[in-house]
Amino acid sequence: MLRGLIGLLSPSLPGRIEAESRQWMMQCPNCGDEISVWDYGGMR
């Protein structure tokens, strides 16, 4: 829902948000596995 709304406000903004969100990584404190914020479903 929010991702679609952002696209309506500025056509270039969703691509920039996705690119930045893919660079931000989250790490599991138990196993050390990493995943991007974007792949987890978030936006940065």
DSSP character string of 5-42 = HHHHH-TTHHHHHHHHHHH-EEE-TTT--EEEHHHHT-
Is residue 29 scored above 90 in pLDDT? yes
Considering only the C-alpha atoms of the chain, give the largest distance between any 2 of them, rounded to a whole number of Å.
Answer: 39
pLDDT attached to residue 22: 93
Total tally of structural domains belonging to the chain: 1
Query: Does residue 2 surpass a pLDDT of 80?
Result: no
Q: Residue 12 belongs to what domain range?
A: 2-40
Segment 17-44 shows an average pLDDT of: 92
Residue 6 confidence (pLDDT): 67
Q: Residues of 18-43 as b/e, b for ≥16 C-beta within 10 angstroms?
A: eeebeeeeeeeeeeeeeeebbeeeee
pLDDT at residue 36 is higher than 90 = yes
Q: With 70 as the cut, is the pLDDT of residue 32 above it?
A: yes
Cα separation, 8 vs 13, in Å, equals 9
Prediction pTM value: 0.64
